[in-house]
Amino acid sequence: MSAETSKKKPLSEEERRALAEKLDKDIDNFIEELAKKKNDEPKEEKPFNFDEWCKELDQHPAFMKELKPNENGEYPESIQALQALKYDTEGEDAVETAQSHKDEGNKHFKYKKYRWAIDCYTNGIKCFAPDRELNSILYANRAASHKFLGNLRTALRDCIFALKFNPCNYKAFLRGAECLVEMDYPKQALEWIETRVEPIQNFQETEFLTKLATLKEKARQDAVKQDRDMRREKLLASKDRAKKERLLNALKERRLCFKPKVVFEDVEDFEWSQLEVQIPHLKERPIVYLNDSNELVWPLLIQYPESGQTDFLTDCSENSIITELVSQVLENPAEWDPTHRFNLENVRFFLSIDVFDEEQVIEIDSNQTLKSALVSKDFVIAHGLPVIQIYTKKHAEKSFIPIENTSRFCVAK
Amino acid sequence: MEDFHIENALYVLFTNSLADHDVILTIFVNITAISSSFAGRLIERDNILPTCFQLAQKNVVGAAKLLANISRHFPARMKIELDKLWEKYIDFCIDGLPKADDTECSDYLGYIVVNLTTIPGIRTEVAAQHLHKLLPLTSCDVPLKRRLIAVDILRNLSFDDELHPRLLDPADEFLTAILAPLADEADELDDEEIQNLPLGLQYWDKKRDANEIIRGRIVETLYQLCATKIGRTVLRSKGIYPLLRELDKATSQSKMENGALKLLNQEHTLHALIGILIRHEDDMEVPKDLDSIRRLK
């Protein structure tokens, strides 16, 4: 029973009092009747069941923790009602639905839930609402979400769509340029700005203008830096190429042979790694080089096949005599050579060569220069590292059979 | 003695018959090339300048040539007329310069701007609003005439001490644009010298401008920039000296090879410039409160 308030006729003091009394009496009667009704109908008192009470509570939308359909695939009634209220597009305008998706997306965006926001905006886009500005905003907002997630390319793509729907969307315009700058495409950013700024020419809001000016300046500077870096790369590359050419020419001049084969004419395809020496326990990769006096300087491996040992030398100038190079090494006995068998007076020097199926060696004179040793016929430098074998005189006598008229020897079986 | 009868007749012809404009313009151009008093009288006439302004906008070369000549004699008076009758004339003239269509008219409109930049107000306007259009024109790819016009305008700007802070702002755009024609890929700069240069000039990969006059004008521009303390400070801090050193090496060598007469003035300016930049500010004995050494007696 509700009190009717009709203010059409002003009541007199008496009339008002009479009305008030009547209303009070009506209320009292009503309540009494209700109470009577209750007492007249005996009801069974249900015992309070906590579990059921919880379950009922869980069915209430305000307290629901999970959304699961029951056996019939239906959601609780209250949920269904709410869903109908929100998503039912039957008879509703696509624009309205899209807008509600947009609004929901914006809410998620505010709380930095970018992936949820993207889903909402995508749903809004899928409505295909016939509203250009709305679609532009949907794409632009999705672009912003992607940008915050770091998906710059996707964000850029969405900016393009946003501007297609509305070329005046200054946010999409700015954001697209920002994406390009962050992706390290400053020139493309400047081009983007130049080609798309016209519809936005008249937008004079200071914040936008400042942002645009700052962005343009950054893009310009980045472009200058990029150009400088390209010029530097070009210069370094040409210097490197010149260095390669010098070395290859020097190697060609001396008629050296390498395995794997080095084509001296092919400067473009030559890689330093073809001649770099890779030794397992050595961090650096020594390589032959030309010094200031135009001499080749080599890394060198000395093998002692008798004892299975090696010595590794670097910076051996081609014009040095073999004796010079090894004297320091042979001066003091190595740990594996306690009796100092390997000393200058007691050794001979050989180069291993591969001829047909035989194992052969060439003896080199200790007074030869490294340069002349390296060009010995059939001698091949493997993987940029020339190898000289040192044998004790006694062992050499045993192991090698001289080949007539040459300084070559066959290895005895 | 001037023959005013002929002059008056020419004025009448000019005013009345549109068809003969070209011929009369040529006559005016030839006379104003040598006679400043005649140019002055042309300005006085009501209809000569206004007509020329309109014709110039329509690409009539004769009109542009005439305006160029008059502006050489009386830039200030011309400016007054221009301000009255031709809105945004600077924009129009400068915008025509980058155009690749090679119209002579744009050249002469450019000369007008060069002449006008002898006026401080014009210089301020050009420096404030039109620099970004002029700077790209110093590149070697740009045709010689336009390059020279751009360099001349920029050079005129450098005479204005108050513009130095604007020209030498941290973005280095002006500096890069005027130094680019002096830099050469063969310059021998060590890594540290390269690092000190403005970014746009590092690892330069083109040849220097072959035209001596342009190079000379640029050296003069740099010399003018040294008039102020800020100019000297910036030029020293941007590591310009090594570029000039290499320029000097290259240009004096080629002079010797060609057996040509030395252009004494140009070399002198370059050496004076280098001299200023090598020294420390303290060594220069410039009074600290002196903002421009132009004021030194």
Q: DSSP secondary structure string, A60-93? A: STTT-S-----TTS---HHHHHHHHHHH--TT--
Q: Among A79-88, A99-108, B179-188, B207-216, which stretch is predicted with the lowest mean pLDDT?
A: A79-88
Chain B positions in Cβ-Cβ contact with residue A221 (cut-off 8 Å): 171, 199
Instruction: List pLDDT tens digits, range A166-182.
Output: 999 999 999 999 999 99
Residue A399 burial (10 A CB sphere; 0-12, 13-18, 19+): middle
* pLDDT range class, residue A91, cuts 50, 70, 90: very low
A148 vs A158: CA distance, rounded Å: 13
In a domain, A251, yes or no: no
pLDDT of B278 reads: 87
Nearest CA in chain B to A221: B171
| CA distance linking residue A256 with residue A49, whole number of Å | 99
- Quickly count helices (H) and strands (E) in chain A: 13, 10
Is B210 an interface residue toward A (CB < 8 Å)? no
- In the three-class reduction of DSSP (H, G, I as helix; E, B as strand; rest coil), residue B279 is classed as coil
| pLDDT at residue number B184 | 92
What are the φ/ψ torsions at residue A42 (nearest 5 degrees)?
A: -75, 130
A244 in a structural domain: no
Question: A166 and A84 in one domain?
Answer: yes
A202 lies in the same domain as A300: no
Higher pLDDT, A336 or B258: A336
- A226 neighbourhood in chain B, CB within 8 Å: none
User: Please, which pLDDT band fits residue A413 given cuts at 50, 70 and 90?
Assistant: low
**Within this chain, do residues A77 and A216 fall inside the same structural domain, yes or no?**
yes
Q: How far apart are CA A154 and CA A171, in angstroms?
A: 16
> Which pLDDT band, with edges at 50, 70 and 90, does A303 fall under?
very high
State the CB neighbour count (10 A cutoff) for residue A16: 11
C-alpha separations of A25 from A18, A29, A166 in Å: 11, 6, 67
Residue B149 and residue B109 in contact, taking contact as beta carbons nearer than 8 Å: no
Q: Is the pLDDT of residue A7 over 70?
A: no
Q: Which residues of B touch A232 (CB under 8 A)?
A: 202-203
**Residue at A191 is within a domain:** yes
Is residue A267 in a domain? no
- Position A2 scores a pLDDT of 46
Set of chain A residues whose Cβ sits within 8 Å of the Cβ of B171 = 217, 220-221
C-alpha distances in Å from residue B101, one per residue of A317, B97, B108, B131, B245: 63, 10, 14, 21, 37
Mean pLDDT of chain A: 87
Is B11 within 8 Å of chain A by CB? no
Classify residue A247: in a domain, yes or no: no
Give the residue-averaged pLDDT of A265-279. Answer: 90
Per the CB < 8 Å rule, is A234 touching B203?
A: yes
Residue B139 contacts A, CB cutoff 8 Å: no
Per-residue pLDDT at A251 exceeds 80: yes
Give the CA distances from residue A256 to residues A249, A261, A378, A385, in Å, rounded to whole numbers and listed in that order.
Answer: 11, 10, 10, 12
Does residue B117 surpass a pLDDT of 60? yes
Do residues A218 and A324 both lie within one domain? no
Which helix H or strand E contains A387, and what residues bound it?
Answer: strand A387-392
Residue A194, judged by CB atoms within 10 A of its CB (0-12, 13-18, 19+), counts as exposed
User: Residue A27's domain is classified under what CATH number?
Assistant: 1.25.40.10
Q: Where are the beta strands (DSSP E) in A202-342?
A: 258-259, 289-290, 296-304, 309-317
**B200 close to A (CB below 8 A):** yes
pLDDT at A1: 44
Give me A280's structure tokens.
């397992």
Core vs surface per residue B47-57: b (16+ CB within 10 A) or e: ebbebbbebbb
Quick check: is A209 in a domain?
yes
The string of pLDDT tens digits covering residues A369-410 is 999 999 988 889 999 999 999 999 998 888 888 887 777 888
Mean pLDDT for the stretch of residues A274-303 = 90
Closest-CA residue of chain A to B171: A221
Asked if A125 and A7 sit in the same domain, the reply is yes
**Alpha carbon of B204: minimum distance to chain A alpha carbons (Å):** 7
Give whole-number Cα distances, B290 to B285, B293, B297, in Å.
11, 7, 12
Per-residue DSSP letter, B86 = -
The tokens describing B206, both together, are 């083109």
Among candidate residues B147, B156, B157, the one with its CA nearest the CA of residue B180:
B147
Close Cβ partners of A355 (under 8 Å, ≥ 6 residues apart):
A378
Map residue A376 onto helix, strand or coil. Answer: coil
pLDDT category, A45, cuts 50, 70, 90?
Answer: low
Number of domains in chain A: 2
Q: SS3 of B246, please?
A: helix
Helix (H) or strand (E) holding A349: strand A347-355
Pick from A217, A221, A228: CB nearest B202 = A228
C-alpha span between A294 and A275 (Å, rounded): 18
Do A308 and A216 have their domain in common? no
- Residue where a domain stops, chosen among A191, A225, A259: A225
Q: Are B181 and B215 in contact (CB under 8 A)?
A: yes
pLDDT band at B1 (very low <50, low <70, confident <90, very high): very low
Please report, for the domain that includes residue A387, its CATH number: 3.10.20.90
Cis preceding linkage at A260, omega within 30: yes
Kindly tell me if the per-residue pLDDT of B94 is higher than 80: yes
Identify the residue with better confidence: A80 or B81.
Answer: B81
Domain boundaries, position A285: 272-411
B139, B196, B205: best to mutate for the A interface, most A CBs within 10 A: B205
pLDDT band at B183 (very low <50, low <70, confident <90, very high): very high
Q: Report yes or no on A193 lying in a domain.
A: yes
Beta bridge partners of A362: A351, A408
CA atoms within 13 A on the CB side of A210: 3
pLDDT of residue B154: 95
Same-domain status, A289 and A357: yes
Chain CA centroid to CA A219, Å: 22
Residues of A with CB under 8 A from a CB of B: 217, 220-221, 224-225, 227-228, 231-232, 234-235
Interface of B with A in 167-186 (CB under 8 A): 171
A328 and A193 in one domain? no
Among A60-64, A105-109, B272-276, the range of highest mean pLDDT: A105-109
Per-chain mean pLDDT for chain B: 86
Q: Which of A132, A195, A196, A151 minimizes the C-alpha distance to A170?
A: A196
Same domain as A305, residue A186: no
- The whole-angstrom separation of Cα A409 and Cα A389 is 13
Q: Which of A139-153, B16-30, B73-87, B100-114 has the highest mean pLDDT?
A: A139-153
The answer to whether B205 and B184 have CB atoms below 8 angstroms apart is: no
What is the spatial distance between Cα B25 and Cα B67, in angstroms, rounded to a whole number?
10
Geometric angle at alpha carbon A88, from A86 and A89, rounded to 5°: 120
User: Does residue A7 sit in the same domain as residue A91?
Assistant: yes
3-state secondary structure of A400: strand
Is a pLDDT exceeding 90 seen at residue A354?
Answer: no
Task: Give the tokens for residue B234.
Answer: 């910036």
DSSP for A102-118 reads HHHHHHHHHTT-HHHHH
Give residue for tokens 């060198």: A300
* Among candidates A221, A224, A234 on the partner chain, residue whose Cβ is nearest the Cβ of B205: A234
Q: What is the pLDDT of residues B126-162, one digit of tens each?
A: 999 999 999 999 999 899 999 999 999 999 999 999 9
Residue A352 lies in a domain: yes
| Contact: B200, A228; criterion CB under 8 Å | yes
Q: What is the C-alpha to C-alpha distance for residues B136 and B142, in angstroms, rounded to an integer?
A: 9
Q: Do A50 and A168 lie in a common domain?
A: yes
Q: pLDDT by residue (tens digit) across B19-66?
A: 667 888 888 888 888 888 888 888 888 788 888 888 888 888 888 999
Looking at A187, A207, A225, which one is the last position of a domain?
A225
A136 and A7 fall within a common domain? yes
